[in-house]
């Protein structure tokens, strides 16, 4: 899941070398934390949060297939 979010985020931003993805695993839920450069934050979130919502939808579908719950947090 971590690699999936990292790939999507690096494809969207202007500074792919500043993309940081961390995964915090629990028993049934994993939290993926995404950090990008300040000037790329808008590109990752998108207009009215559409891009972020799309990333969460893709993540939800992939995590359902793996029978685990995964949450995406975008950190400023």
Q: What is the pLDDT of residue 19?
A: 95
Domains of the chain with CATH codes: 2-75 (3.30.300.20)
Q: What is the pLDDT of residue 27?
A: 84
Per the document, the length of the chain is 76
pLDDT digits (tens, 9 = 90+) for 19-46: 999 999 988 899 999 999 999 999 999 9
Side-chain-facing half-sphere of 59: CA atoms under 13 Å: 27
Count Cβ atoms below 10 Å from residue 62 Cβ, excluding itself.
Answer: 14
Q: In this model, does residue 76 exceed pLDDT 90?
A: no
């Amino acid at each position: 899941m971590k690699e999936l979010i990292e790939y999507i985020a690096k494809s969207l931003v202007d500074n792919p070398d500043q993309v940081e993805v961390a995964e915090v695993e629990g028993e049934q839920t994993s939290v993926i934390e995404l950090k990008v450069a300040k000037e790329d934050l808008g590109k990752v979130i998108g207009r009215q949060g559409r891009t972020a919502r799309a990333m969460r939808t893709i993540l939800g579908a992939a995590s359902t297939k793996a029978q685990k719950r995964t949450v995406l947090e975008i950190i400023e």
